[in-house]
Each structure stands twice: as C-alpha cells, then as structure tokens.
Amino acid sequence: MQRRDFLRLNAIAGASALLGPSLAGCSQPAEWQRLMTAGPATIKPTVCNMCFWSCAGQVHVRDGEPWKITGHPDDPHSMGRLCTRGTAGLGAYYDPNRLIKPLLRVNRGGSQQFDVVSWDDALGFIAGRLEKVAKEHGPEALATLVHGPGAEHFVHLTKAFGSDSISEPAFAQCRGPRDTGFYFTFGEGIASPEQTDMENAKCVVLIGTHLGENLHNSQVRTFADAIRNDATIITVDPRFSVAAGKAKYWLPIRPGTDIALLLAWTNVILAERLYDADYINLNTVGFNALAAYIAPFTPEWAYVETGITADVIRQTARIMAASAPATVIHPGRHTVWWGDDTQRARAVAILAGLLGIWGQKGGYYMPESVALPEFPLPAYPVPKKSWRDITISKFPLAGQGVTNVMLDNMVGSDAYYKAMIVYDTNLPMTMPNSRATLTKAAQALDLLVVVDVQPSEMTGFADVVLPECSYLERYDPLRSESERDPCIALRAPALPVQGDSKPGWWIAKQLGHRLGLDKYFPWNDYTEVIDWQLKQVGSSLTEMQTLGLKPYPRKTPLYLTPGAPLNLQTPSGKIELYSQALADAGFDALPRFTRHAQRPDGFFHLNYGRAPQHSFSRTQNNPVLYQLMPENLVWIHPDTAMQFAIDNESYVQLVNQDGVVSNKVRVRITERIRPDSVWMVHGFGHTAAGLTLAYGRGADDSALMTRVLYDPIMGGTGMRGNFVTFRKEAA
C-alpha cells in the first residue's frame, strides 16, 4: 500500500490497492540490512522541549546524520522512554518552515509586511524602542509573557531592565486555579511533575484528567503502574477517555457539576465517619464548620446535578476512604473551566485533606529538588510599579501575573504597558477569545517582540520576530525540579544550528548589552553560568556533557511519618478545611456549588483536551507528528449525528452560541462521549500561513471560546462555558 493510517479507529484490516514499481532485485540493501552492520552512534545529551515535562534525552548521531532521540535511562521523568512527541523531536529540527532570519515589520505603500533584517538591525531596533519606552513611561511599561525552560533568559532581561510584569499562560490559562486552591488548603501548590504516588496507590481518582491522551511521561508511566497493580481507578469525565477505559468506575458526569460530586463525596465521608478522627484533630482546622456546611449535600442531592447515581457516589467514596491514605485524589493540571475553578480545586484539596493522603505512601509524596545556587548577579532595580498594582484590584489573590490582565492593560488611551516581549508561547491559540485584544494591543504598543522557533500565529502580531534555534541546538537553564528523585539534567546543543537562528540566552544577552545592562550578563557564554552552578553542587559542565543527567540522594524523607503533625505553611500550620484567608478576602470559605449556564437548544457543550501526538498549538507543523495526526476530529455521539444527519468522517463547521464559525473539522461519531457534548483536541485550525503543513487543518477550539468565565479569586480564564452546533460542509 502507498500510505497507511497510523491510527485506525474501529478499523478492520483489509486488502488495499497494490501499486509500485517492479524491479529485478534492489541494488541498495534494505534499511535493516544497513543497520545490521552500522557502527555505533554518538550520543549527546538534551532535555526535551516538545512539551514542558522536560524529559532528559539522548540525541543519537551516526555518520554525522541525526538519527533518533531516546530517553535518558536514569531520568525519573522518562526512564529511558520518551513519549510520542519527544520521540519525534527531530521533526522540530528539520521543519522546513522554521524561522531562520530576524524579521522586521515595515509599512510599505500602506501595506504591512515583514522584511528580513540582520540581527544587528533587529536588536538595535528593539533596544531603541525599549529605551524610548523607559524614558517616556518608565521600564515598568514592559510586560513579558513567557513559557518553557528558556523563559528564564527573558525573565532575567525584563527584571534587569526594571520591570516585574512577567506572566505565563501556565497560570491563568492552565494550572493557576489548582495551585491557588491547594495553596489555601495545604499552604503550597502542587509540584510539576505532580507529586502523585500512583505507583503505590490502591485507588486513583481522576476528575477530568485524561492521563493517556495527556501524555505527561512519568504521570502516564505511574498511572500504568497503578493499573498493573490492580488499583481501583475512578474516572470522572463527560467522555469515555482512555483513562475511563482503564477504570473500574467511569462517572460520565454532566459538564460543569464537579463541585456537586466533590461535595457529595465529602458528605459521605463525614456522614459515614470514613475518616481518621485523630488525624483530623491533629492536622485540620475548620472541621466542624465543614461538617455543618456539608450536611445538605447528600448523594441524592448530587444525583440531580451531576447525573451520577447516589449508589455510585457512595460506593466510590467508600473505596477512596478504605484505600486511604494510599488514595491518589489527582489534582489535575489544566483546570480553567467554569470560573469557579479555585473553589473546585479547594473541594479536591479538602477531600484529599480528609483522606489524610498528604505526604503519605500511595497518596501525595513529598517532592525534593537539588538546591542549585543562582549565578551571582547584582540585585535587580526595584520597579516603581509592580504587576500587582494592576492585578490585585481585579483578582486579589492572584499569586502571579495574569496574562489576560496584562493584555487588557495594553489597550486604550490609558494603557499601562507600552512594550511586550513574548517568548515561546502562542497567545492567540492559548488565551481564549484573545485575537481582537491582541490586534488592538499590537496597534497600541510601541514595541511587540516575539521570540519563537516557528512562524506561529503570535509572530503575525509582532513588530520584530526573533528566530530562536530549536532545543536541539542550544543550552538552556539546567533542569532541577522538585520531584521524587532529585536530579539535574542538561540541555546542550546536539546538532548544528540551522540558518541564522540563535539561542535564547544569546538574544537576551545581546539585548542587555544594547540596553546598557552588561552588569547583568557578566559572562561571554551561557556555559559559564551553567558550569559555575554545576560546580556548586559537585559537578561540572564537562561531567554533565557526558552524563546528561545526574541523580542526587534525597536529603528529606519521601513520605511523612504517619501520625506526626504536618506543619504546613498555612497560617494555622494545618490543613485549612475552612479557609479564613478566603473569607477575609470576601470569598467563600467553603466551596460553593453553582449551577452554570445551561446549553441552548440544539447546542452542545464544547469540551476539549489533548492527544498524545501533540502539545498545545506548537507541534502540528512537526513533519513527523503531522503524519501521526494531521488534523483534529470532533467527537459526536451517534444520537447527535442522527439528529443533524451528519456522516462519520464528513467535515462540518462548528458554530458557537455567539455565531462564531470554526474552520471545517472532520467528524468522529462515537459512543465515547455524552450525548450533550462534543469533544476535540486543542491546538489545531492554524491560521498562520507560514505553517504549511498545519495551516487550515482542523478547527481551533480557542477561537470558539467567546464566553470566558473569569475566576474572581485568581483571574483564570474559564473556557468551558461555550456551546456549539453544526453547519454541514457543502459537498
């Protein structure tokens, strides 16, 4: 056969057209015959950047040709096994659409276009504009929006310049509500990687988390361990996710009613006294207030809201409690859904608190990192105004900069920000309903710089586009995360730099030089920083270039002693079942269930998620991953398909409640979804013409999210309150 489906959905293998040349024996050996006698490959260390999980990897180069990338065998993130995206990392290097020259927007005869310019011209232009902004408005008028390990270079530059307005979509568009909810309960957020001890759990509860499709490497590996160990898996999801397929209990919950389920579970645990009273007395505050509050939220009450029967709610609560503390109540990750997400995370955290799983084997382990000293640098100037000044009045308990607040403050005559640097994040497809504001911001700002590897949608808004080389061509800050097994991993250049692209550290240093900030970059090459840091912890760059990853022994216990007091960083030092801090700020001290907008007739909940083949909107143009998954599909229940007379594999357009129409998207009719919902993988429907593979393929869910539900506590952009119907493509 000529082409093959890499993933067959309910397929039956059948005969295919047999085409191809006829020959009298091939003059070349087959690839496998060549491989049988091939010499050894050289191996160079990297840290994967195909997603943020940052697995340590090894780039294999044979006879000068890049061959493959595999996981570092000692890496607790990957255990030698990179995921689908990491395995395809060479595609990011070879992508013919990569940015390889700096670009400057010019106005020529009334039309705007990008000119290829030299680095000197591009950097000089940026420095000139930034100096003008600093002179007229102060350096605080610079905002920097970033993502990923390379962000540190531009965070550093921004602080050295005199601004602390730094934000990442990872907060307000992703895990901010989770970390805020846990902070107000346990005194700290959840680590990344999440400290879920699934490999030792007897019960794993996933609430809207679709591990498997969400291919965070060590999360998936330890989830598979839980399955192998016959842990009871409880999956709450409107869709029969891969994880639901592994579960003993699948709870196909009505979208937007998680808090009702969580309150009912808590009700059962309290009503049936399924908790350890000594633990509760020692380690929690607000138990009596919780008990009084929770009484009306019975399983029978929750059934009406969630569609989950009272029996199932009771059974699952009992299993969680019986397995505790070896019960993982998974905190989730992307949790910006309905605008009450911090309270939803609070409900998750309260359940975890009652079950006593904090710091316990099979629950949440205690993560530890290698204490890597900062390279000695002069103190940053103190900004006259901080990001807090524009944020706290809107979202009083935001723990860090909120992207949407910053963006809103770039528009209008009284706009606070006059310049923006965007590093490695594709805002138009990351921030819901942001294109109109981004367009206005691009007009209003004196300077918009975008640093990217590929010509993403974001680059289209820029005054200057700076081409960064891929992760396989550069040094970046050392990986030293809080996790089960402390270690350090090195990202080093493994392959020659393509074109005129440059590493992020070089770009930041060059800009610093032009801005008179040389004292913040007192080194010629970033390797000096890495080497200095490594020498503080008994290693060196030379050693790490060979090792790639270095494990360190733990200095603190992985688990807390059962029965000992927790000593948390909350004001009370205990688990705050009732949050006085939230009450003092005018929010509910105990999570409240709110009935969200009902779907209009003929409309369906727009749910979205991940596929193992792609990360965000950044990998659709990767030539290797494109072959595995070239477009997203919209999942539709058979009843819905029948109602609208939609054929499987046909193309439709989605129309949302405000009349916004999507690009065409292929239909997958499947029983694996609730009849009141559709589901699609996020990150497709690219509109950037420079991404020649991804352009126009599939539909963009974020463009359909015109109704954004803001979390009043921390500013998260709830994305689930949107509904779609179908417009059939003309045949």
Of the pair 18, 645, the CB lying nearest another protein is at 18
Query: Contacting another protein (CB under 8 A), which of 357, 515, 575, 628?
Result: 628
Beta bridge mates, 167:
145, 401
- Taking the complex as a whole, the smallest distance from the CB of residue 17 to another protein amounts, in Å, to 11
What 3-state DSSP class applies to 91? Answer: helix
Please state, in angstroms and rounded to a whole number, the distance separating the CA atoms of residues 480 and 484: 12
- Is the CB of residue 576 less than 8 Å from the CB of residue 285? yes
Contact positions with another protein (CB under 8 A) in 249-288? 250, 252
Of the pair 104, 247, the CB lying nearest another protein is at 247
- Is the CB of residue 603 less than 8 Å from the CB of residue 657? yes
Contact positions with another protein (CB under 8 A) in 13-42? 13-16, 18-33, 35-36, 38
Please state, in angstroms and rounded to a whole number, the distance separating the CA atoms of residues 291 and 297: 11
- Is the CB of residue 45 less than 8 Å from the CB of residue 58? yes
Query: Contacting another protein (CB under 8 A), which of 44, 246, 509, 514?
Result: 246
Is residue 675 a contact point for another protein (CB under 8 A)? yes
Is residue 635 a contact point for another protein (CB under 8 A)? no
- Taking the complex as a whole, the smallest distance from the CB of residue 724 to another protein amounts, in Å, to 19
Query: Contacting another protein (CB under 8 A), which of 324, 429, 636, 673?
Result: 673
Beta bridge mates, 461:
none
Of the pair 309, 580, the CB lying nearest another protein is at 309
Q: Which two tokens stand for residue 625?
A: 């991953």
- Taking the complex as a whole, the smallest distance from the CB of residue 642 to another protein amounts, in Å, to 13
- Is the CB of residue 341 less than 8 Å from the CB of residue 259? no
Q: Which two tokens stand for residue 283?
A: 């380690």
Query: Contacting another protein (CB under 8 A), which of 58, 87, 232, 510?
Result: 87
Please state, in angstroms and rounded to a whole number, the distance separating the CA atoms of residues 406 and 462: 17
> Site mask, another protein, residues 559-598, x = CB under 8 A?
----------------------------------------
Q: Which two tokens stand for residue 320?
A: 């969680």
Beta strands in 278-407 (DSSP E): 284-285, 327-329
Q: Which two tokens stand for residue 705?
A: 């999210």
Is residue 731 a contact point for another protein (CB under 8 A)? no
- Taking the complex as a whole, the smallest distance from the CB of residue 338 to another protein amounts, in Å, to 22
State CA 80 to chain mean position distance.
Answer: 22
Residues 6+ apart with CB under 8 A from 65: none
- Taking the complex as a whole, the smallest distance from the CB of residue 73 to another protein amounts, in Å, to 10
Q: Which two tokens stand for residue 515?
A: 């801005």
Q: Which stretch binds another protein (CB under 8 A): 63-71, 133-141, 595-603, 679-687?
A: 63-71
Is residue 82 a contact point for another protein (CB under 8 A)? yes
Is residue 44 a contact point for another protein (CB under 8 A)? no
- Taking the complex as a whole, the smallest distance from the CB of residue 708 to another protein amounts, in Å, to 30
- Taking the complex as a whole, the smallest distance from the CB of residue 389 to another protein amounts, in Å, to 44
Query: Contacting another protein (CB under 8 A), which of 339, 612, 683, 712?
Result: 612
Helix pair 504-514, 526-536: axis angle to 10 deg:
110
Query: Contacting another protein (CB under 8 A), which of 42, 52, 61, 70?
Result: 70
Q: Which two tokens stand for residue 67?
A: 């061959």
Of the pair 502, 610, the CB lying nearest another protein is at 610
Query: Contacting another protein (CB under 8 A), which of 227, 282, 497, 585?
Result: 227
Q: Which stretch binds another protein (CB under 8 A): 5-13, 117-125, 563-571, 647-655?
A: 5-13
- Taking the complex as a whole, the smallest distance from the CB of residue 47 to another protein amounts, in Å, to 17
Q: What is the DSSP pairing of strand 575-576 with strand 549-551?
A: unpaired
- Taking the complex as a whole, the smallest distance from the CB of residue 220 to another protein amounts, in Å, to 5
Q: What is the DSSP pairing of strand 575-576 with strand 284-285?
A: parallel
Query: Contacting another protein (CB under 8 A), which of 618, 674, 686, 697?
Result: 674
Contact positions with another protein (CB under 8 A) in 362-381? none
Please state, in angstroms and rounded to a whole number, the distance separating the CA atoms of residues 663 and 682: 13
Q: Which two tokens stand for residue 192?
A: 């990344």
Is residue 240 a contact point for another protein (CB under 8 A)? yes
Q: What is the 8-class DSSP label of residue 214?
A: B
What 3-state DSSP class applies to 175? Answer: helix
Query: Contacting another protein (CB under 8 A), which of 50, 51, 88, 191?
Result: 88
Cis peptide bond N-terminal to 522, omega within 30: no
Is residue 642 a contact point for another protein (CB under 8 A)? no
What type of residue is 10? N
